[in-house]
Structures are given as C-alpha cells and as structure tokens.
C-alpha cells in the first residue's frame, strides 16, 4: 500500500501545483508513506462502514446557492452531494519506507540521471506549452467577450440615433405635407430628439439643393452639402433611406465626424432633403478608452467589406482616419467568417503583435475589433515559464549531484521533501492544525485569507468552532452541532461540506478534509484542509432569484428521494406559481416582473426554517420547495408561511382579477413512509394539485398525501398545465 498512497499524493500535487507537481512526480516517484499522510491528509485508502457513515450524516451541513454571496449571510440549506469518505488512520513506520539501492553501476546511474532529466525537461516543456495555449485561449476569450459588449453598446447607440433621425425625417415630411412649406425643419422636434441623443454632436437639416437650413447646436454653414458623397448618393438613389457616411471633417463641429443620414421624401417619394446627425470620432475613442484592454491593447471601428474596411475610429495607436489598409490575415479570416472571428496579427503603426476579435454590427455596415497585446497577456506566463526553467535547472543540478553520490542524493531528497511540506503553506487550499481539544495550533496564509483574519495570531489558540461558526451573525451554530468538533472528538477521517464564517460575519461554503494525527498510536490532533466552493455553488444558483436553479433542484430531489427510501421517512414537495404573472408583466413591465420574482423568492426562502429544506426556481414564474422528513400537515404550515410572507410584502398587481396584490397558488404532495411512488409520480401529483388550486380560483393551497392508489393514478394521469 505505500506505493499506492505515494502515487495518490503525487497525482494530487500534479493537479494542484502544475509544473512543480510534475517535477515532484519525475524526481521522487515514490515518497515515504508517513510523509504522504502528513502533507496530504486525504491520500489514504478508502473504507466505508454503516456506523461511521450514519455518524457523519448527522454532522453534515447543507449549502444554499446564496452562500457564495459574502454581503448577505444566510443559513445553509442546500444538501451536499458528496458522500462521506472514511479512510484508515494506520501510518507505517518510517523504517518501512522504500529506499534506493546503494550499489549501482556508474553507467546505469548515469543513464538513469540522463533519462530522468530528459523526461523532466519534456514534461515541463509540455506543461509550459499547454500553459501558453491556455493563456492565449483566455486572451482570445476575453477579446471576444469585450468585443461582444462593445458591439452591443455601439449598435444600441447608433440604432438610437437612426430611430431619432427617421423620426425627425418623418416629422419634417409631415409638416411639409400639411402645408408648412418646403423649408419646414420641425426645429422644436429636432431639439427634443437632440436632447435624447447625447452622443450626437449636432443635428442638421439639408434641403434638396444641399443647403444647410437648420442646425441644433451650431449656426448653419454657408457651404453646400451637395459636394458631399453621401448627399450625391441619396439624390441619385430613391431607394436609399439611411446611411452612415465615410469619415469627414465636420464643417461646423470642426472635428473628424461620422454623419448618420436619413432621407426626407416628398409626397411622391422624390428626394426632398436630409436629416443628419454628426457623431465625432472622439466619442468613439472615449468609449474605447474605458475598456480593460491592457497597456498595449487596441480597439478599432471599421466599415465592413462593402466599405472596403475603411478606418472610422481607433484607440492605440491612432491611425489615419478613412484608410483601408488591413492585414492579409484579417481579410482572409473575415472572408471565411463574415459575422465574427478571432485572429492574430502585427497590426497598426506600432507593429505590436495582438490577438484580435472582430464582430459585424447587426444591421449596420460596421465592424468592431478588440485586440489584446501579447506582451500584456503573456507577462505572467513568461514568469511562469522562467520558473519552470529554474525548476528544470535545479532538478538537473540535484540529479547531477546524485549521480556522484547516491547517499548524498537521498539526503537532498529528504531536504526537498521538507521544502515541499513548506510549499503547502503557499497553496490555495486552507490548512489548519488542531490539538485534541479542537484549538488551532497553526494555519497557512490561505486559511488566514479565506477566514478574513489579519494574521495567523488572530486564529492560533482559538477554538475551531469560534473561528468557523461562532461569528455567523445570521444563523449561529451551537458548539454541539459543529461538524468540525464532532470530527475532532471522533478522531475519524472523512470529507465533509460545511459553511465557514469569516471574522466579519460573512459565510462561504467549503469542502474540507479532516485527518487525525497520531504519534505512537496516540491521537495528538487533527489537520484540516479546506477549499472555497463559492464558484461551484454559483453554478447551481438561479441568477435572477438567487435560489437553487433547476439543475440543483433535480440533483437534490434525486438525492433526497434516495435518502427517503433508505431511511423510510416522510417527504413533501411544494410547487408554487405566481398568479397571473403574464398580466403582471404586461401591466408593470418586465423589469418590475423580474423584481417581483426576486421578492417572491425571498419570501419563499424566509418561510423555510430548516437547513434541510431547499427552495428552487422551477421555471419562469414557478418555484418548488423540497421538504425532507415532512408530512402533509408540516408542508401545509410551510405553504401558509409562504403566503403570509408574500402578503406582508403587499406587492401591487393591477392586472390580477384575484386581488390588488401579488398572490401565489401552491400545490402540495406528501409521501408517507412505505409509499411505492416514484419521483415522477410525485412531480405529476404536485403539478396536479397546483393545477387544482389554479382552477379553483388561485390564491389558495391544494394538498394530497400520496398512497399506492394515488401514485398509480398520478402515473396514469396526463400532465396538465394551468394558464
């Protein structure tokens, strides 16, 4: 078993520390088992027992999807999905550790050192290359993400200008048609539109002869617009209604501008002038400068292929506005992928290598490009590559010394093992040492950081319960219910999930390993390693309501149903529907509808008092509550609490025929022990009760206790969907 444990340790190090772990795997291969047990407490053999599993189940805490939100501490309610893993606590004596043979032929030893060095260099080279590809992919993904946001924002702004221009042209046409004369310009309307378009520097009206007859922000110029190319295109093409001009020097703005132009028709559809919005190039550059693109990044706005990719605006480096010079790589890439894509090129006057993403603006002949400079995003990788090279050179020196003296090499191996143990202080996982009474004896910097302490002195000597649970402002935990204290008292090994609390009262979900430490068979303390699960919990959270999402609901329902079958316990499920929510959206708007769903979700969460209960967003305006160990009467009380919480909010619902405020209909199904129903039967029955509540007039509760006959009927009944 020592070899198996050492392999587990080395593989774990490879996974957590990348290149350094690869070096350990190549350099040491097998490590003394007592060292493995000390530095990686979860690397022993797996064993299971009904007694230990039962004891562990009582000490588990459930995690809610909102516990990753540090600003709002909430009680833990979501069930973890990882069973307890108990391992043996036997530690082999150091004398049983494997040792290299002392006598080796020089040629064999030299060949071994050479092969080992080549292997390490090859592994570190692969690690460096994969890391390089990963960094480049992250840069490309960031470029695409930034470009998507930029394209969406620019498109929205230009569409606003377009709609404003079309409205202005329509108003001018209306006034001229109603007898205001051919010189009518609708000045009041244009000023009103101008105030709604802060991105436009000026709105002007040009008559059919090219004379500027009105300007919102500057005195009209005496120069004729008939010489402008866009004016000539509109005059020649009666089908042309809107266009974005080539970059121009504004006569009145006196800056490089883009003219967004809308046609003013006569009654018979002939050309009767133009309404023009001038947008300065500086406006685009200011928007580009606000983006997080690094010190050498670039943002570009160009015309599409129909405009020969003319340069409209550029941030870093500045280019000649209107030029159509682009790289061959860009032309080839956009020819293959016209809508969007990613490529690399030495673009711009500075010749800096950048990773570009481009995106065609929907409905507009424009393209946005965001480029991240490789010298910006590769800095960290270069440092990492130098570190890998340093590791490789260090390994060469170490193995070179080992080829001269095997015994001395083993001494160095022991020193290296000690260095690796010290390296654990810098891992991202928190590590805490506890004595037999559960007091902290040491902790690594990651633990200090994750627990919100200023230094190690804030934690050393403190009771573990006071550190991780005693400052839970929203939901204090009694010491007798502390899973960590239970593990210390039992001197047992396992993997657990819990909610730790920082010193400022903010909670965060964790997964931790508790490994008992023994000296000569006597229990002397426990080493606890824990990791932050906030990102994992976030993946199971509904973004709008912060309740569990449908994926988390399905997982929890399956897990709780399996637990019910094993324990032969009660079980209840609630399906909740917001009454006439479509009418709410139609009456109050979608933004208010989203806020309404959030308020309803919080009311449901407040109504659940037990850590074992789970509230989830089931879909749309529907919610669900899983209530393990609950009969129909208990589920009915929970449903009434939900209605009471919602009634206390008094959310106005002008479009509801039920009442003036937002209400819910609730379907309950309770499953007693021994019922042969399946999960799908419970869902059907709950849906049927919800439909019954809605059919009976809404704002009510309907419940059913599922027995064998009811389960059969639920399975045979078709699914019904209420309005």
CB-count burial class (<10 Å; 0-12, 13-18, 19+) for 251:
middle
DSSP 477-524: --GGG-HHHHHHHHT--EEEEEEEE-TTS-EEEEEEEEEEEEETTEEE
200 in Cβ contact with 277 (< 8 Å): yes
> Would you state the structure tokens that stand for residue 628, as one six-digit string?
């393990």
Element of type H or E holding 525: strand 522-532
CB 565 within 8 A of CB 465: no
Residues 6+ apart with CB under 8 A from 577: 621, 622, 623, 664, 665, 666, 690, 694, 722
Q: Is the peptide bond before 317 cis (omega within 30 degrees of 0)?
A: yes
d(CA 31, CA 269): 87
**pLDDT at residue number 178:** 84
Sole residue written with tokens 């593990």: 487
The angle at the Cα of 469, spanning 495 to 427, to the nearest 5 degrees, equals 50
- Which of 293-326 are b and which e, b meaning 16 or more Cβ less than 10 Å from the residue's Cβ? bbebbbbbbbbbeeeebbbbbbbbeebebeeeeb
- What is the crossing angle of helices 379-404 and 406-423, to 10°? 150
Residue with tokens 């050498």: 296
pLDDT tens by residue, 446-486? 888 888 888 888 888 888 888 887 654 445 556 666 767 77
> Distance between CA atoms of 441 and 308, rounded to whole angstroms?
70
Determine the pLDDT at residue 492: 67
Domains of the chain: 48-87+427-534 (3.30.450.20), 139-376 (3.30.450.20), 540-716 (3.30.70.270)
Residues in the chain, pLDDT under 70: 1-107, 182, 318, 347-348, 406-412, 414, 420-421, 423-425, 470-481, 483, 487, 489-494, 708-723
Contacts 24+ apart (CB under 8 A), 25-31: 25/123, 26/116, 26/119, 26/120, 26/123, 26/395, 27/116, 27/120, 27/395, 27/398, 27/399, 27/413, 27/416, 28/413, 28/416, 28/417, 30/2, 30/3, 30/6, 30/98, 31/6, 31/417
Q: From CA 195, how far away is CA 529, in angstroms rounded? A: 60
């Amino acid at each position: 078993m020592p070899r198996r444990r050492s392999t587990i340790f080395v593989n774990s190090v490879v996974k957590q520390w990348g290149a350094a772990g690869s070096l350990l795997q190549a350099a040491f291969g097998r490590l003394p088992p007592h060292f493995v047990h000390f530095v990686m407490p979860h690397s022993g053999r797996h064993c299971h027992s009904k007694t230990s599993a039962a004891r562990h189940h009582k000490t588990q805490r459930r995690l809610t999807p909102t516990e990753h939100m540090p600003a709002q501490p909430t009680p833990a309610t979501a069930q973890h999905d990882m069973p307890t893993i108990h391992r043996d606590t036997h530690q082999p004596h150091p004398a049983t550790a494997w040792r290299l043979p002392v006598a080796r032929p020089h040629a064999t030893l030299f060949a071994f050192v050479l092969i080992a060095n080549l292997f390490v260099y090859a592994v570190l080279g692969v690690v460096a290359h994969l890391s390089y590809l990963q960094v480049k992919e992250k840069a490309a993904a960031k470029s695409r993400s930034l470009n998507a946001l930029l394209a969406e924002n620019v498109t929205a702004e230009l569409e606003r200008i377009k709609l404003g221009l079309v409205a202005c042209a329509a108003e001018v046409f209306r006034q001229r048609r109603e007898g205001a004369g051919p010189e009518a310009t609708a000045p009041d309307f244009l000023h009103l539109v101008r105030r709604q378009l802060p991105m436009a520097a000026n709105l002007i009206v040009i008559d059919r002869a090219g004379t500027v007859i009105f300007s919102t922000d500057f005195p009209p110029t005496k120069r004729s617009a008939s010489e402008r190319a866009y004016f000539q295109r509109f005059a020649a093409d009666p089908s042309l209604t809107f266009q974005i001009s080539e970059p121009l020097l504004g006569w009145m703005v006196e800056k490089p501008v883009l003219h967004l132009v809308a046609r003013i028709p006569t009654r018979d559809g002939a050309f009767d002038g133009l309404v023009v919005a001038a947008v300065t190039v500086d406006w685009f550059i200011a928007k580009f400068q606000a983006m997080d693109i690094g010190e050498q990044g670039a943002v570009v706005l160009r015309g599409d292929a129909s405009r020969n990719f003319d340069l409209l605006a550029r941030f870093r480096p500045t280019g000649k506005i209107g030029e159509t010079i682009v790289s061959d790589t860009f032309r080839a890439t956009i020819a293959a992928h016209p809508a969007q894509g990613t490529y690399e090129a030495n673009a711009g006057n500075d010749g800096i290598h950048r990773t570009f993403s481009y995106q065609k603006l929907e409905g507009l002949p424009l393209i946005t490009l965001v480029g991240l400079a490789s010298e910006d995003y590769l800095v960290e990788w270069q440092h990492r590559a130098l570190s890998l090279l340093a590791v490789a050179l260090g390994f060469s020196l170490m193995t070179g010394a080992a080829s001269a003296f095997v015994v001395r090499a083993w001494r160095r191996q022991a020193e290296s093992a000690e260095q690796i143990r010290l390296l654990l202080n810098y891992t991202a996982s928190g590590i805490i040492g506890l004595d037999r009474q559960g007091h902290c004896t040491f902790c690594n910097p990651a633990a200090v950081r994750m627990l919100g302490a200023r230094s190690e002195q804030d934690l050393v000597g403190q009771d573990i319960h006071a550190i991780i649970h005693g400052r839970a402002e929203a939901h204090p935990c009694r010491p007798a219910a502390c899973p960590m204290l239970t593990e210390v008292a039992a001197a047992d090994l396992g993997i657990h999930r819990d909610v730790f609390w920082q010193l400022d009262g903010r909670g965060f979900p964790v997964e931790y390993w508790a490994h008992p430490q023994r000296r000569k068979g006597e229990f002397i303390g426990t080493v606890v390693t824990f990791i932050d699960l906030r990102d994992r919990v976030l993946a199971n959270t509904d973004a709008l309501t912060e309740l569990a999402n449908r994926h988390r609901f399905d997982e929890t329902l399956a897990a709780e149903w399996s637990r019910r079958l094993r324990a032969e316990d009660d079980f209840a499920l609630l399906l909740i529907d917001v009454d006439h929510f479509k009418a709410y959206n139609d009456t109050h708007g979608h933004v208010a509808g989203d806020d309404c769903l959030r308020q309803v979700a919080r009311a449901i969460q407040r109504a659940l008092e037990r850590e074992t209960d789970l509230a989830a967003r089931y879909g749309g305006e529907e919610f669900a509550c899983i209530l393990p160990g609950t009969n129909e009467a208990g589920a009915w009380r929970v449903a009434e609490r939900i209605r009471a919480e919602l009634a206390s909010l008094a959310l106005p619902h002008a479009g509801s025929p039920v009442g003036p405020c937002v209400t819910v209909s609730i379907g309950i199904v309770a499953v007693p022990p021994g019922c042969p129903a399946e999960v799908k039967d419970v869902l059907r029955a709950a849906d049927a009760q919800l439909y019954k509540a809605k059919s009976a007039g809404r704002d009510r509760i309907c419940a059913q206790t599922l027995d064998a006959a009811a389960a059969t009927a639920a399975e045979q009944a078709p699914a019904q969907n209420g309005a």
